[in-house]
Copies of this chain bind each other. A is one copy, B any other.
């Protein structure tokens, strides 16, 4: 299982601590960690995962693996800039958001739009005016790293079960090379 952790490249000490603990707990549960591969929350979650012997994937925006933080095991050099945010969330079976600014908000939105569960730790609160948007399907709030990891793994398992056949079908013909 892969869980993507998203958050700002410049993060408050509070969020860095939360992200590092999330990484540690995911690694202890034998879950691989994917992230944007850079600084702040991304570096913290990788550092935590490595401290617990986990495997980390950094999905980078630029054109060289040298831009990844020092705790990324597998740098994916996308070259497509912030459009890589879509890849960060789709690579996770579920997503955990820690704090974050606009880049993180774009990832939360892409995930929710694609039916990928998002668990939040002191991150964006969403509300819409006028539109009957099912915000009941929005971010699942968590109070602690333990709570976030439990809810993310549970949501990922539920998603994997429910999407089985449909996803299988969708995947099939679409791209054959």
For A76-116 the 0/1 string (1 means CB < 8 A from B) is: 11111111011100110100000111110110111011100
Determine the interface band of chain A, counting residues with CB < 8 A from chain B: 35 or more
Given A106-B113, A129-B123, are A171 and B64 also a contact pair (CB < 8 Å)? yes
Contact A63 B114 (CB under 8 A): yes
The reply on A136 being an interface residue by CB < 8 A is no
Residue contacts A-B, CB under 8 angstroms, 14 given: A12-B131, A15-B131, A38-B175, A57-B76, A67-B174, A75-B91, A77-B90, A79-B82, A81-B81, A102-B110, A103-B177, A122-B130, A125-B129, A126-B126
Of all A-B residue pairs in the complex, the 10 with the closest CB atoms, nearest first, are A102-B113, A122-B130, A106-B109, A67-B171, A105-B109, A80-B80, A103-B177, A61-B175, A77-B90, A64-B167
